Amino acid sequence: MITGSIRRGIKQGIDTTLLLAKVVIPVYMFVTVLRYTPVMDMIATMFKPFMALFNLPGEAAVVLVLGNCLNFFAALGAMSAINLTAAQITTIALMLSFSHALFMETAVVKMLGVNEIGMTATRLAMSFIVGIIAGNIGGLLQWLK
Amino acid sequence: MVEIIKEAVFGSLNTIFKIAVIVIPLMVAMQLLKDYKILDRFANILRPVTDFFGMSKEASFPLLIGLVFGISYGAGAIVQSSREGSLTKRDITLVVLFLVNCHAVIEDTLVFVAVGANGFILLGTRLVAAIMLTYTMSKWLDKSDPQFK
């Protein structure tokens, strides 16, 4: 019984890894190539004022969009492909831990008969508020150094 | 061009490897928890939390399941408990509010730690925020709609 559980667990782990490889590899490649094109500069410039609220570079908009529309792993792929400081990684992780995979998870909430729009709005609001606080604390610490 | 492709291939494989090192042992642990129904034994462990929010004691189990396994499993546990008729609309709203902000805490935290985030800040902030939101909502529900129970 216990070896069966372990075997199933390992299989599940490998399946999950393969599943996320299918997401992480294309996203990582796409973002890496994008970084060498003018498109990434355009995105970065466009989102710079907004991302500055969270003390993040404009490119981070790509990470947040992927995490919210798809899932964590797409965001991880994109996140690893752009240069970020440890504080910025924590800020993005905080923001995404409050709101991610919104299409999928909102469907789950709706199924339970709870006000799904309110719940999703709360998640996005939390993500922004926590992002602003964490980003500024991170920025302050950087400045003190 | 070759450099870019090389960077993309090695970079993405490296990221996958970092995640796999966490995900595989974690899935083994989760499978053991599920197969041996270990969490059932701790079904009441979150009773102080549910008492604090003024929920039914049966809300403890879905909350625990959601915190450990994720929102889909939490939702499954909610459906099961509400079929047995032990959860009120108020309980469900509060459990869902807590869980949308804070779920699958082990997996989510470790995966971000693998790419360099601070796990203590991550988990601490999520827990505190979920508690504050749920508490505020519980007071607000009681005030605005005492019939909600």
Tokens 């991880």 sit at which residue?
A76
Q: Locate tokens 């890496």: which residue?
A: A32
Give CA separation, B16 vs A24, A83, A109, B78, B113, in Å: 7, 18, 30, 33, 14
pLDDT at B148: 58
Amino acid letter at A25?
I
Q: Work out the mean pLDDT of chain A and round it to a whole number.
A: 92
Q: What ipTM is given for this predicted complex? A: 0.88
The alpha carbon of A113 is separated from its chain's Cα centroid by a whole number of angstroms, namely 27
All residue ranges of chain B with pLDDT < 50 are none
- Minimal CA separation from A22 to chain B, in Å: 10
E-assigned strand segments in chain A:
none
Q: What pLDDT is recorded for position B149? A: 52
pLDDT tens-digit readout, A13-51: 999 889 888 888 899 888 988 888 999 999 999 999 999
* CB-based contact, B3 to chain A, within 8 Å: no
A2 versus A97: the higher-pLDDT residue is: A97
User: Rounded to an integer, what distance in angstroms lies between the CA atom of residue B30 and that of residue A129?
Assistant: 32
Write down the pLDDT at residue A91.
96
Q: How far is B38 from chain A, CA to nearest CA, in Å?
A: 13
Nearest by CB to residue B4, choosing from A12, A33, A93, is A33
Alpha helices in B36-118 (DSSP H): 38-41, 47-52, 60-69, 71-83, 89-101, 105-114
